[in-house]
């Protein structure tokens, strides 16, 4: 009986570890997708490392934010949904350097146009969520 308990315990631990690795792989896939979106849409101003030193940063009237410091500015907590809302353009506190939602710097990429196409809405939300997951992964420790 004792040996049977050990075998069952070992199998259970093995299953937990393998499922944890699957989650980690899925999370990494989401982060990689977000990084790709960041490099395509945000790095011009925020820089490849998200530290605010992109090639267009010197031309901005307001210094480009160091996005690796978002959690630090909130007591070590990354405000995931606030960041999502800011990218989406729904956050009440405007980001002056981004201009209005109609400005080209935002692009069409993150705008929800009136549509009945649920796949299009889901795809846009997924792009923004992966971008926010990536930004969360860049936070300074």
SS (HEC) of 43-78: HHHHCCCCCCCCCCHHHCCCCCCCHHHCCHHHCCCC
User: What pLDDT is stored for residue 67 in this prediction?
Assistant: 95
User: What pLDDT is stored for residue 103 in this prediction?
Assistant: 38
Alpha carbon 65 to chain centroid distance?
A: 15
Report the alpha-carbon distance of residue 79 to residue 6 in Å, rounded: 42
User: What pLDDT is stored for residue 15 in this prediction?
Assistant: 53
User: What pLDDT is stored for residue 41 in this prediction?
Assistant: 87
Count CB atoms within 10 A of the CB of residue 137: 17
Report the alpha-carbon distance of residue 34 to residue 87 in Å, rounded: 13
Enumerate residue ranges in the chain where pLDDT < 70: 1-23, 89-122
Nearest alpha carbon to residue 127 among 141, 100, 108, 140: 108
What Cα–Cα distance (Å) separates residue 30 from each residue in 2, 64, 80, 110, 112? Answer: 42, 25, 15, 17, 21
User: What pLDDT is stored for residue 98 in this prediction?
Assistant: 58
User: What pLDDT is stored for residue 125 in this prediction?
Assistant: 82
User: What pLDDT is stored for residue 114 in this prediction?
Assistant: 52
């Amino acid at each position: 009986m004792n040996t049977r308990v050990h075998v069952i315990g070992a199998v259970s631990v093995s299953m937990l570890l393998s499922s944890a690795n699957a989650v980690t792989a899925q999370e990494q896939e989401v982060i990689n997708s977000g990084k790709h979106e960041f490099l395509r849409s945000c790095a011009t101003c925020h820089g490849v490392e998200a530290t605010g030193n992109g090639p267009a940063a010197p031309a901005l009237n307001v210094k480009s934010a160091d996005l690796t410091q978002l959690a630090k500015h909130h007591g070590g907590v990354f405000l995931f949904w606030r960041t999502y809302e800011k990218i989406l353009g729904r956050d009440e506190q405007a980001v002056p350097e981004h201009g209005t939602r109609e400005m080209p710097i935002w692009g069409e990429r993150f705008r929800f146009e009136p549509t009945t196409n649920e796949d299009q809405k889901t795809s846009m939300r997924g792009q923004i969520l992966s971008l926010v997951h990536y930004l969360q992964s860049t936070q300074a420790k």
